Amino acid sequence: MIRIKLVSKFTAALAFTCLAAVSVRAADAPSNVPMPTPAVLTADARPVAEKFASPGHDGRILKIIHNFPDEPAAQDAMLDKLSAQGFGGVVANVSFNEYLLSEPRWQAFIRAVGEARKRGMMLWLYDECGYPSGSAGGVTLKDHPELEARGVYVAEATSTGGAVALDVPPGDLMRASAFPVKDGVAQLDQAVDLASSIKEGKLAWEA
């Protein structure tokens, strides 16, 4: 029996996001930062049929809008329109323009969140600007490229003889080898280099 392995390396921005919940009292907030108005959800005691026919905000779909407008009047017009269309709230984040770095856009975002809550709307706030998650539109690695995540893809096949065909995994090829297997254990010291058998992203080799 022969085991064939193709190993490719790849790099990506951090594939995880650290989230933190921060509590700020109004008295502690900078004077130029508007604080959202707190809102408390109350139980809907209406009969089920009535709630189904006319659900509250928490029973309606949320529209993904990404960015709120910067201007207060435009924010209010958007929220009023979404409410009139039957949406229960929005999925949004701080503006992608100067993402996370613009104080005026943070203030605009906080103001919009407060206005949405005043209307009883539901909010799903997130921090996604590009994929994979955690890249923050390039901000994550801007000053710390050494934090870039690394990994490997492995494509593997087992053969008892004959033709072997295998797609090369994405990334930069690190190794393409075949190992004889004895009692279920690959004999690493008897590896056969298969790099020359790879053409146009595919391995074709006769075992």
Look at residue 85 and tell me whether its pLDDT is greater than 90.
yes
- The answer to the question of residue 86 being in a domain is no
- The answer to the question of residue 168 being in a domain is yes
In the structure, what pLDDT confidence band is assigned to residue 77 with cuts at 50, 70 and 90?
A: very high
User: Which whole number is the average pLDDT over 48-56?
Assistant: 83
Q: 3-class SS at 204? A: strand
Residue indicated by tokens 């809907």: 44
pTM: 0.58
Range of the domain at 179: 2-10+152-206
- The answer to the question of residue 179 being in a domain is yes
Helices (H), 26-138: 48-53, 72-84, 103-118
Longest dimension (CA), the chain: 76
- The answer to the question of residue 166 being in a domain is yes
Q: What are phi and psi of 18, to 5 degrees?
A: -90, 120
How far from 39 is each of 58, 63, 197, CA to CA, in Å?
Answer: 13, 20, 65
pLDDT at 39: 53
- The answer to the question of residue 39 being in a domain is no
In the chain, the number of structural domains is 1
More confident residue, 140 or 42: 140
- The answer to the question of residue 77 being in a domain is no
- The answer to the question of residue 163 being in a domain is yes
Look at residue 121 and tell me whether its pLDDT is greater than 90.
yes
Q: Are 112 and 73 in contact (CB under 8 A)?
A: no
Q: Are 175 and 7 in contact (CB under 8 A)?
A: yes
In the structure, what pLDDT confidence band is assigned to residue 18 with cuts at 50, 70 and 90?
A: very low
Report the percent of the chain where pLDDT is more than 70: 83
- The answer to the question of residue 173 being in a domain is yes
pLDDT at 23: 36
DSSP-derived letter for residue 149 is E
